[in-house]
Amino acid sequence: MHTVFVLDDEPDILELIKINLNKHGFKCGLFERAFALLEALKTDLPDILVLDLMLPDLDGIEVCKRIRALPALKSLPIIMLTAKVNTDDRIYGLDSGADDYLTKPFSPDELIARINALLRRKEWETENNILAITPDFRIDFNSYEVFIENKRADLTRTEFKILQLLTKQPGRVYTRTQILDYLWGNDKIVIDRTIDVHIKHLREKIGRFGNFIRNIRGVGYKFDLEQTNNVNSESADEA
């Protein structure tokens, strides 16, 4: 049985979420204050967190940042729940560490569907654990970290999730729309060309391994493992 922690300062919303979580077989912990949640996370680790953005004691963005700063919680799936509908607010929330974003008023069935989707993704990450593309290029799906020549690459949450998707099925071409779906589901808040910007930054941060991410003109992007031979050849030449 999966456990979901929910932080929201509105008792009616907490009760609505609790009823629907219990109906679908989830255990839940309910919190009306951010500091109470942060204290509980010191001893109890849920499978997923539903986090309200507008809180009386601490802003939800700050809560998200504090959670992501803790090694044990870096991979905790977070759904941000808020009445804010401004595109910039939603992008800021996702870049601050949230995995998904749902605006109020919301459908309880949609919330349950998004929770299940994130849990499936988490199970895939746990099974794969660490993917060694080459000895000098490793992806840790549990800690959400990428290591280039044993140094941690400073990727944003969005950049990591793009890399995560592309490496699930190396060689498969993902359209920009499919990448957007993976990042934000049906809640489209950016244009597809924004993906090009994120991938440009991702390539820069992984250095010489950026060539693994190939643009298929007019279609999208893929992760090309055939580049491994080229990188190994370059390493041998340098040696």
- Both 32 and 89 in a single domain? yes
What pLDDT sits at residue 92? 66
More confident residue, 118 or 85: 118
Confidence of residue 239 (pLDDT cuts 50, 70, 90): very low
Q: Which of 73, 97, 126 is the last residue of a domain?
A: 126
Q: Which domain holds residue 65?
A: 3-126
More confident residue, 193 or 186: 193
Residue ranges of E strands in 12-61: 27-31, 48-52
102 in the same domain as 56: yes
Q: Is the pLDDT of residue 235 over 60?
A: no
Residues 169, 229 within the same domain: yes
pTM, two decimals, is 0.59
* Residues 55 and 142 grouped into a single domain: no
For the segment 33-72, what is each residue's pLDDT rounded down to a tens digit? 999 999 999 889 899 999 998 888 888 889 988 998 887 7
Assess whether 93 and 166 both reside in one domain. Answer: no
- Which residue, 126, 155, 183, sits at the end of a domain? 126
The predicted pLDDT at position 102 comes to 85
CATH of the domain at 137: 1.10.10.10
50 and 151 belong to one structural domain:
no
pLDDT confidence tier of residue 237, bands split at 50, 70 and 90: very low
| Claim to verify: residue 119 and residue 168 sit in the same structural domain | no
Helix (H) or strand (E) holding 153: strand 151-153
Residue 127: per-residue pLDDT: 56
The rounded distance, in Å, linking the Cα atoms of 161 and 72 is 18
pLDDT at 14 over 90: yes
Whether residues 185 and 138 share a domain: the answer is yes
Q: What is the mean pLDDT of residues 127-151?
A: 83
Length of the chain: 239
pLDDT of residue 87: 61
Helix axis angle for 194-205 and 157-168, nearest 10°, is 90
Q: For position 201, what pLDDT does the model report?
A: 94
How far apart (Å, rounded) are the C-alpha atoms in residues 231 and 148? 13
* pLDDT attached to residue 105: 84
Q: What is the mean pLDDT of residues 136-160?
A: 88
> What percent of the chain lies above the pLDDT cut of 70?
85
How confident is the model over 183-206, as a mean pLDDT? Answer: 79
CA 80 – CA 55 distance, rounded (Å): 12
Looking at the fold, whether 83 and 137 belong to one and the same domain comes out as no
Do 31 and 40 touch, CB atoms closer than 8 A?
yes
My answer on whether 168 and 201 are in the same domain is yes
* Gap between the Cα atoms of 18 and 200, Å rounded: 41
- Per-residue CA distances from 124 to 59, 119, 130, 159, 181 (Å): 31, 9, 11, 18, 17
Among 105, 126, 147, residue at a domain's last position: 126
Q: pLDDT class for 177, splitting at 50, 70, 90?
A: confident
Domains held by the chain: number? 2
* Shared-domain flag, residues 116 and 8: yes
Categorize the per-residue pLDDT at 238 as very low, low, confident or very high, splitting at 50, 70 and 90: very low
170 and 137 fall within a common domain: yes
CATH of the domain at 100: 3.40.50.2300
**76-111: per-residue pLDDT in tens?**
889 988 776 566 666 766 777 788 888 888 899 999
Sheet holding 213-216, edge to edge: 174-175, 220-223, 213-216
Task: Flag the least confident range among 146-155, 160-169, 191-200, 217-226.
Answer: 191-200
Mean pLDDT, the chain, rounded, equals 84
